Amino acid sequence: MLDFCGRVSLFSALSKERLVQLCRGARLLQLEANEPICIGESGAEIYVVRGGVIHSTQASTGISLDLLPPESFGESALFPEEELRVRWSDVVAGEPGAAVVAFSVSAVETLIGFELQEASLALFNRKMLKSVVCAGRMLVANLSEEDVDAVFRAMHRKTYGCGDVIACKGELDEALCIIESGEVTVAKDADSGGGAILTLKRGDCFGEQALVTAAATPAGRRAQGARRKSSIIVPAGAGAASVVTLKLTPQTFQRLRECASLDEWATQLVGDIGARAAKGADTVGGQAQGGERHR
């Protein structure tokens, strides 16, 4: 068990002594084919695939991932904010069954403290990145794990408070933004969300036009591209919460393009975004304004 846990990406930063402590709280589960593990419930355990395959499907988008040994899932159970400790996907065992190692979050925190919180958030967001739809296609489709990590590391996190206007109608986009947590309103006007069109949640994106204007000029300088036809606003009022975004700026996107393995991906992405803009679409979260959602 110690050798196995040592190969798990989520545990890579732990010392051997911490791994020994962690293994004390492990339990092995043998699952039948199509047996559910966690479906739409609050997170209390994290899991690592020991054998077979695990199917994970995000109910809101229908996007599925196959998890193989020694991949982990359920990392949101380790998040510091209690309200984020929920299951984002439905998870079942594949054919002919699977074996997973389960770790109770309370046991993990008792045995090794809170060392895994930062690693769990980073790993969870890397998985989210694979489900993001941008300009009608998967954002990081066909990229290697190393290149997905490079794109993720190029992004920076920014938090917005209730009532903040993240992007305003009539302005140029400043960055591609992916929602890490919380919800935003897409509105026709920036005045308190007037003329709301739809709501964007975790994994939705907006602001992709920033990458097109960056690609059209040297060193990522801004060009006079298409201006926004809608505003992005953090809701205010009772029950509202702050929003955390992952942002990819034009300048950082240009630096990614200098990597040989990412240039073709970046060129295709810019082409897709430009083609949709040429049709007059103001895209947010995979949706063209006034059209149906593509996710």
**Which residue ranges make up each domain of the chain?**
2-131, 134-288
Common-topology check for domains 2-131 and 134-288: yes
Q: What is the pLDDT of residues 202-243, one digit of tens each?
A: 889 999 999 986 555 444 444 445 688 899 999 988 777 889
70 prior amide bond cis, ω within 30: yes
- pLDDT tens-digit series, residues 66-87: 999 999 988 888 887 766 666 7
Going through 85-213 in order, the beta strands assigned E by DSSP cover: 90-104, 133-134, 137-138, 156-160, 165-167, 176-181, 184-187, 196-200, 205-206
User: Which superfamily does 2-131 belong to?
Assistant: Jelly Rolls (2.60.120.10)
Query: What SS3 state is found at 119?
Result: helix
Distance from C-alpha of 295 to C-alpha of 223, rounded to nearest angstrom: 29
> Residue 184: beta bridge partners?
200
Q: What global pTM score does this model have?
A: 0.73
Task: Report the distance separating Cα 213 and Cα 200, nearest Å.
Answer: 24
Residue ranges in 225-259 assigned as alpha helix (H):
250-257
Query: How far, in Å, CA of 17 to CA of 199, rounded?
Result: 46
Residue 13 · residue 115 · CB < 8 Å: yes
- Overall CATH class of domain 134-288: mainly beta
Rounded to an integer, what distance in angstroms lies between the CA atom of residue 85 and that of residue 244? 16
Cα separation, 67 vs 55, whole angstroms: 6
Tell me what the pLDDT averaged over the chain comes to: 84
Q: What is the pLDDT along the chain (295 residues), one digit of tens a residue?
A: 999 999 999 999 899 999 999 999 899 999 999 999 875 556 788 999 999 999 988 766 677 889 999 999 888 888 877 666 667 788 999 999 999 999 998 888 888 888 898 888 888 888 889 889 999 889 998 999 899 999 999 999 999 999 999 999 999 999 999 998 889 999 987 665 557 789 999 889 999 999 986 555 444 444 445 688 899 999 988 777 889 999 999 999 999 999 999 999 999 999 999 888 777 655 554 444 433 333 3
**Reduced to 3 states, what is the DSSP secondary structure of residue 148?**
helix
